[in-house]
């Protein structure tokens, strides 16, 4: 997607947040990766209903403005924290949807454990609440440990932050969090949220991985086949029954070295 198209898409997402009633006043913010050290961002002190492609800012890797009118929003550090920890992420959205934000202000208990199968595939095994921290460096430090293992979080006493491979995915994840929050509140009225059984999670997480969602799995280390390992070597051994053989070889080598 070229920069102009990305600008139009980001502005449209910002206006969607306002149209859904998920932001008010100057609340909420949206960003998208432009390239190394360049991020497209909504400006501060601007209603999301008024955001247009030409009113967006470009900031550097530290959140300093490179171009555009107005100033970067104060929570830009949260977005940059996500980008630094998830190189495959290209968009981040933050808003205050009422149901999910209400749960975030109450501690997040109702959304912490999954209770709908589809949500596990889309968001992962948990939807954590990041403890409240003062805006700025403290808030970024509080968020950082949650980024690698999740695609959306509740921000304690604050709102919702979601990210994705593109703007639409980040928006849809935020939308899903709010939808889950509304269901959870209805479930509370009907007797309480009942989490999915633990036995169901493995298959759902496998489906999530097959769909290419979440943090890319690290490549496993290459196994080393040791035909004649050194006496003090510690290497992976491949093949059934080879562990005993390796031990015998080490003993024989040690015995030979003692005789020499």
Examine the domain organization and report whether 202 and 128 are in the same domain: yes
pLDDT at 46: 97
Domain that holds residue 12: 3-210
Q: Count the residues in the chain.
A: 260
pLDDT at 228: 46
Name 35's Cβ contacts closer than 8 Å, sequence gap at least 6. Answer: none
Examine the domain organization and report whether 172 and 260 are in the same domain: no
Examine the domain organization and report whether 13 and 75 are in the same domain: yes
pLDDT at 181: 98
pLDDT at 243: 45
pLDDT at 215: 75
pLDDT of the chain, 260 residues: tens digit per residue: 899 999 999 999 999 999 999 999 999 999 999 999 999 999 999 999 999 999 999 999 999 999 998 999 999 999 999 999 999 999 999 999 999 999 999 999 999 999 999 999 999 999 999 999 999 999 999 999 999 999 999 999 999 999 999 999 999 999 999 999 999 999 999 999 999 999 999 999 999 999 999 876 544 444 444 444 555 555 554 444 434 544 554 554 455 445 54
Examine the domain organization and report whether 151 and 233 are in the same domain: no
Examine the domain organization and report whether 130 and 174 are in the same domain: yes
Examine the domain organization and report whether 137 and 171 are in the same domain: yes
pLDDT at 214: 81
Examine the domain organization and report whether 179 and 236 are in the same domain: no
Examine the domain organization and report whether 226 and 196 are in the same domain: no
Examine the domain organization and report whether 149 and 259 are in the same domain: no
The whole-angstrom separation of Cα 36 and Cα 55 is 21
Closest to 226 in 3D by CA, of 215, 218, 234: 234
Domain tally for the chain? 2
Cβ atoms 169, 162 nearer than 8 A: no
pLDDT at 6: 98
The whole-angstrom separation of Cα 137 and Cα 26 is 21
- Read off the pTM: 0.82
The CATH number of the domain holding residue 34 is: 3.40.225.10
Q: What is the dihedral of CA 52, 57, 61, 66, to 10 degrees?
A: 160
Q: How does DSSP assign the chain, residue by residue? A: --HHHHHHHHHHHHHHHHHTTS--TT--EEEEEEETTEEEEPBSS--GGG--GGG-EEE-TTS-EEESSS-B-TTHHHHHHHHHH-TT--EEEEE--HHHHHHHHTTSHHHHS--SHHHHHHH-S---EEPP--TTHHHHHHHHHHHTT-SEEEETTTEEEEEESSHHHHHHHHHHHHHHHHHHHHHHHTT---PPPGGGHHHHHHHHHHTT-SSPPPPPPPP---SS--TT------STTHHHHHHHHHHHHHHHHHH-
Examine the domain organization and report whether 83 and 125 are in the same domain: yes
Closest to 154 in 3D by CA, of 196, 110, 193: 110
The whole-angstrom separation of Cα 153 and Cα 82 is 11
Examine the domain organization and report whether 244 and 117 are in the same domain: no
Examine the domain organization and report whether 203 and 225 are in the same domain: no
């Amino acid at each position: 997607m070229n920069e102009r198209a990305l600008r139009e898409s980001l502005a449209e997402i910002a206006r969607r947040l306002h149209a859904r009633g998920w932001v008010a006043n100057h609340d909420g913010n949206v960003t998208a990766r432009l390239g190394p050290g360049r991020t497209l961002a909504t400006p501060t002190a601007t209603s999301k209903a008024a955001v247009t492609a030409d009113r967006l800012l470009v900031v550097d890797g530290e959140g300093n403005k490179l171009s555009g009118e107005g100033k970067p929003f104060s929570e830009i550090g949260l977005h940059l924290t996500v980008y630094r920890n998830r190189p495959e992420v290209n968009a981040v959205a933050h808003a205050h949807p009422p149901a999910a934000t209400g749960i975030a202000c109450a501690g997040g208990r109702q959304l912490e454990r999954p209770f709908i199968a589809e949500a596990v595939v889309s968001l992962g095994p948990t939807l954590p609440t990041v403890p409240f921290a003062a805006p700025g460096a403290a808030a970024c430090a509080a968020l950082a440990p949650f980024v690698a293992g999740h695609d959306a979080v509740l921000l304690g006493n604050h709102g919702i932050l979601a990210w994705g491979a593109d703007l639409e995915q980040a928006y849809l994840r935020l939308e899903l969090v709010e939808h889950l929050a509304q269901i959870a509140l209805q479930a509370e009225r009907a007797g309480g949220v009942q989490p999915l059984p633990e036995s169901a999670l493995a298959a759902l997480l496998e489906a999530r991985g097959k769909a290419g969602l979440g943090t890319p799995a690290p490549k496993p280390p290459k196994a080393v086949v040791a035909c004649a390992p050194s006496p003090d070597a510690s290497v992976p051994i491949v093949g059934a029954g080879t562990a005993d053989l390796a031990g015998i070889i080490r003993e024989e080598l040690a015995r030979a070295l003692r005789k020499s």
